[in-house]
Structure 1
Amino acid sequence: MSGSAAELARRLGDHAEAVCREYLSNGRRVGNYWIVGDVRNTEGRSMHVRLKTNAKGLDGKWVDEATTEYGDLLDVIRESCGLVEFRDVADEARHFLAMPRPQAQDSGVRRQPAAARGSPHAARRLFAMSQTVAGTLAERYLVGRGIFLTARERALRFHPGCYYRDLITGETRPLPALIAAVTGPDGILTGLQRTWLDPGGNGKAQVDDPRRSLGHLLGNGIWLGLDPGASVPVMAAGEGFETMASLHTVMPALPVAAATSANHLTGLTLPPGCRRLYIAADADAAGRHGIERLSQRAGEAGIATLVLRPQLGDFNDDLRHLGPPCLAASLGDQLLPEDARHFLPSG
């Protein structure tokens, strides 16, 4: 590793516990680790930050066992503060370390101020900087996954040069990205999910982790087909965006929410008037846990739950490899008859 990013990460690692106490204040120290819910400072226990270098790795490195995300303390600062540009992350790190800022030439152009501390602000700023997906690489990517959404869907946007930082080398570069808004049922944007795309149009970008989230995610999700604040008697929810977008492709009248992870699925806030909830299954243990916890919460609120199961690995696999008619037929066998008649195309 070389360069300012690597040096800042190393310096932060020398003060790993102090960094965690400042930026991951909802966690606590357990032995040689700082335990917290996730890199965005959510309460919980799935993310472990190593506080002292040992045989397993360097101090300051972290991993989230629920999402498999990993990184260093620069990522902690970026996500917990809701920063978008690397220069803002570096300025925040230097401020914490009481290091001088590097001298820069005055270009004569006023730089937009950094996003205020707090991820929702940064998420809203990045979303506002993005454009509609029509005619972009984002639309091409979605179509390549068999996903067709109407122009009414406001949750998705495209950014032609969204900052990506390699967690191994510390290098940063702009890449095109699909931007998905994370909101509550009220439609207020609290975060977003970025999916970096290959500039040549060949699917996701060739990077280690092409999908990362930003902002306040717990209780919120990527909603499709929802009128904010409206009563939603029947809906579907699951972990992944592409899983739920696949269901929405064949059932466009059914509101769906992607919670972005199994942990966040358990805490998803359900809209007013919900009386029946379909949960899209995920094969892994964390996915089963998310289904059980959300089902329990829904049941306590008087909401009936039913689980939808794919024929292949997930519903996007079903959509791409089996085709929309086959997916619709499979769903028709799992939905209640009145829901099948209402949400699935006839014939």
Structure 2
Amino acid sequence: MERLDASELAHRLARNAEAVCRHYLSTGRREGAYWLVGDVRNTPGRSMFVRLKETLRGPAGKWVDAATSEHGDLLDVIRESRGLADFKDVAEEARSFLSLPRPQPRPMATRPSSPRSNAPTGPSDAARRLFAMSQPIERTFVEAYLRRRGITALHGTGSLRFHPRCYYRPEEHSPTETWPAMIAAVTNLSGHVTGAHRTWLDPGGFSEATLGKAPIDTPRRAMGDLLGHAVRFGIAGEVLAAGEGIETMLSLRCVLPSMPMVAALSAAHLSAILFRDALRRLYIARDNDPAGDGAMTTLIDRAQSAGIEALVLSPRLGDFNEDLRLLGVDALRAALRVQIAAQDVARFMELAA
């Protein structure tokens, strides 16, 4: 078999770009010089554009997903549409395709009138796709990142996933980079994914300067519909703890393992979280800064107006993850034990042996 490197394989595929698209992105269709499809995994839609011939904008075979900012070449199309992980499998599939005669385009008049998707292609839809294409966190950079931050209670973290090559663009016109990332699903009260939060991670490991986050300007970004919604841990009932950061709330779960919790991702969004009808007591895990104080005040007023008891949990340092890392789990347990209602100590707190 002729040995070809990645660039030569991509070049040969680009010379047959429309045939590649018809084969691997079959839910799409040609419009002018582009192939339009929902995404690189062959989802119906129109947010992804594949250039079918060289233009002033660039060479044939390059694609970009306007909804997610993902981009790549036709080798990426083969990898994602076929769910392949290793390059040797991608290369084998590409070689197999290139040995076939180029399919003849079907005349427009005989093209079947398959129903077109009416699914939205906005930020919330992109967030759902990003979460769906990510993997569980077990034995990944995400698990290592959380454990290095002192978080060992990883039960009930189905709202978190790992993406090994999540796209990051520093600015609108900057080149796109890829970093491993923790992907968190933002959901509404019905459990429907409305957004996603990305924490890009440093593949080189943990450092005190970055706490394991990627060395980039904005290692945390959210997308989709966030207002009123949150990242959820556990099934909420009459009691709920709410705070800003994912790491903050997971730190609390190390000593309150069965208490349902939500991370609103920012002070502004914390003050606007929606309440379930069954909620009777709300613990507000404040961050020790002016924004955290403002969110706390607003949330207390909203909770009390809804007939919900509101109790504040305050860290000794900047936030509860800082307390966990620097003071230790026993100190965090002792501090929280005197801040939560007496009946909730036995119900939710993991007591030291």
TM-score by length of 1: 0.67
What corresponds to 1:345 in structure 2? Answer: 350
Q: Distance in 1 between matches of 2:142 and 2:260?
A: 21
Can you list the C-alpha shifts for 1:157-213, whole angstroms capped at 9, x where unaligned? 000000011228712111100111111232111111100001122211111110101
Q: 1:139 aligns with which of 137, 140, 143?
A: 143
1:104 paired with 2:92, answer no
Can you list the C-alpha shifts for 1:43-69, whole angstroms capped at 9, x where unaligned? xxxxxxxxxxxxxxxxxxxxxxxxxxx
Extract unaligned runs of 5+ from structure 2.
Answer: 1-38, 50-54, 63-73, 82-116, 207-211
**For residues 154-173 of structure 1, what are the structure 2 equivalents within 5 Å?**
154-167=158-171, 170-173=174-177
What corresponds to 2:99 in structure 1? Answer: none
Q: 2:130 aligns with which of 105, 126, 131?
A: 126
Q: Tell me if the contact between 2:288 and 2:314 (Cα under 8 Å) persists in the aligned partners.
A: no
Between 1:133-142 and 1:292-301, the stretch displaced more is: 292-301
Amino acid across the alignment from 1:157: R
**Aligned-pair distance for 1:322?**
1.1
Q: Tell me if the contact between 2:271 and 2:299 (Cα under 8 Å) persists in the aligned partners.
A: yes
1:214 paired with 2:223, answer yes
**For residues 15-164 of structure 1, what are the structure 2 equivalents within 5 Å?**
102-105=58-61, 107=74, 116-164=120-168
Q: 1:328 aligns with which of 301, 308, 333?
A: 333
SS of alignment partner, residue 334 of structure 1: coil
Q: Distance in 2 between matches of 1:248 and 1:180?
A: 17
1:296 paired with 2:296, answer no
What corresponds to 1:285 in structure 2? Answer: 290
**Aligned-pair distance for 1:269?**
1.0
1:240 paired with 2:245, answer yes
What corresponds to 2:183 in structure 1? Answer: 179
Amino acid across the alignment from 2:300: S
Amino acid across the alignment from 1:174: T
Q: Tell me if the contact between 2:288 and 2:317 (Cα under 8 Å) persists in the aligned partners.
A: no
Seen in structure 2, the aligned counterparts of structure 1 residues 119 and 149 have a Cα distance that, compared at 3 Å, is farther
Q: Distance in 1 between matches of 2:40 and 2:159?
A: 19
Q: Tell me if the contact between 1:133 and 1:139 (Cα under 8 Å) persists in the aligned partners.
A: yes
Paired positions, count: 254
SS of alignment partner, residue 250 of structure 1: coil
**4+ residue segments displaced more than 3 Å:** 88-91, 99-103, 105-113, 149-152
1:275 paired with 2:231, answer no
Q: Tell me if the contact between 1:84 and 1:122 (Cα under 8 Å) persists in the aligned partners.
A: no
Say what the alpha-carbon RMSD is for the aligned residues.
Answer: 3.0
Amino acid across the alignment from 1:158: F
**Aligned-pair distance for 1:152?**
3.6
Between 1:283-292 and 1:190-199, the stretch displaced more is: 283-292
Q: Distance in 1 between matches of 2:156 and 2:298?
A: 32
Higher radius of gyration, 1 or 2: 2
**Aligned-pair distance for 1:243?**
0.9
Can you list the C-alpha shifts for 1:65-110, whole angstroms capped at 9, x where unaligned? xxxxxxxxxxxxxxxxxx999xx9996xxxxxxx975442384857
Amino acid across the alignment from 1:253: S
Q: Tell me if the contact between 1:123 and 1:192 (Cα under 8 Å) persists in the aligned partners.
A: yes
Seen in structure 2, the aligned counterparts of structure 1 residues 205 and 84 have a Cα distance that, compared at 3 Å, is farther
Q: Distance in 2 between matches of 1:138 and 1:346?
A: 27
What percentage of aligned pairs have identical amino acids? 48
Q: Distance in 1 between matches of 2:296 and 2:156?
A: 29
Seen in structure 2, the aligned counterparts of structure 1 residues 267 and 251 have a Cα distance that, compared at 3 Å, is same
Q: Tell me if the contact between 1:84 and 1:163 (Cα under 8 Å) persists in the aligned partners.
A: no
Q: Tell me if the contact between 1:84 and 1:126 (Cα under 8 Å) persists in the aligned partners.
A: no
Extract unaligned runs of 5+ from structure 1.
Answer: 1-82, 92-98
Q: Tell me if the contact between 2:289 and 2:318 (Cα under 8 Å) persists in the aligned partners.
A: no
Seen in structure 2, the aligned counterparts of structure 1 residues 223 and 233 have a Cα distance that, compared at 3 Å, is same
